[in-house]
Structures are given as C-alpha cells and as structure tokens.
Structure 1
Amino acid sequence: MTPEQFIEANVKAELIKLGFSTSVASLATREAIRYYRKQPASRRGKMIEDCLNQAKIVARLTTKR
C-alpha cells in the first residue's frame, strides 16, 4: 500500500464515520491527497493527522450553506 492509498483509505473512512456523505468524503479525500503531495515534510508521524484536518476543513466547507 502506497502512502497515498493509505491516506485515501483512512481519511475517507474517518470522514464517513463522522457522518459526511460518501461524495463529500471523496471530494475531501482528494483534497487531502493534494495536500500530501504539496507538503515537503510534516512533523514526525503527523502527516496523516495533517491530511485528515485538511480534509475535515474541506468537508465542512462543502456541506455548509
């Protein structure tokens, strides 16, 4: 499993567990992977947490009206 696959699987599962729809979770997961690709480094062992936080922000913005 590549790091991007790991991020995709875990971030999407967490967002769905938090009650976001599958489509919103997919969109936010794509943004989390884009965030991962742009970041040169993160705090040790915190990249998945940073990606999840970015995905949560996108998911909240997507569902608010």
Structure 2
Amino acid sequence: MSTLRFKTNINCGGCIKAVTPTLNQVAGQGNWQVDTNVPEKILTVQTTNTTAQQVVEAVQEAGFEIQQA
C-alpha cells in the first residue's frame, strides 16, 4: 500500500461533503482524509492501485484545486 499526499483548497466540512462521492469512487471509502487544520489542507490517500493522476482528476472534477505535495 502506498500513501499519496496532496495540497488542496478543501477547507471545511461542506467542501469535504462535496468531494466525498468522487473520492470514494476513485480511492474507496475510508482510504482518504483531508487535514483541514493545516494551512496546506493536506489530502492523504492510502492506495494499492489508485494513481496520483486519478486523485487529481477526481478532486478537480469536484471543483477543487489540488497539487501533489
């Protein structure tokens, strides 16, 4: 299993709710989390088969900014 980390602008519970369906579909429920308590709003994804590009595309599709940390 590998860990992917990204800086995002997902900064509140409402944002997390908006991105949840897309990230659950790509990464799987329970395999990702966003730390909204740090300025970089770090998204961490635990995965065995999801690529960084798939995560980036999913978050952008949900309307948020993302870049690999």
The interval holding the TM-score normalised by the smaller chain is: 0.3 to 0.5
Greater RCO (CA < 8 Å, at least 6 residues apart) = 2
Greater per-residue strand proportion:
2
TM-score by length of 1: 0.38
TM-score by length of 2: 0.37
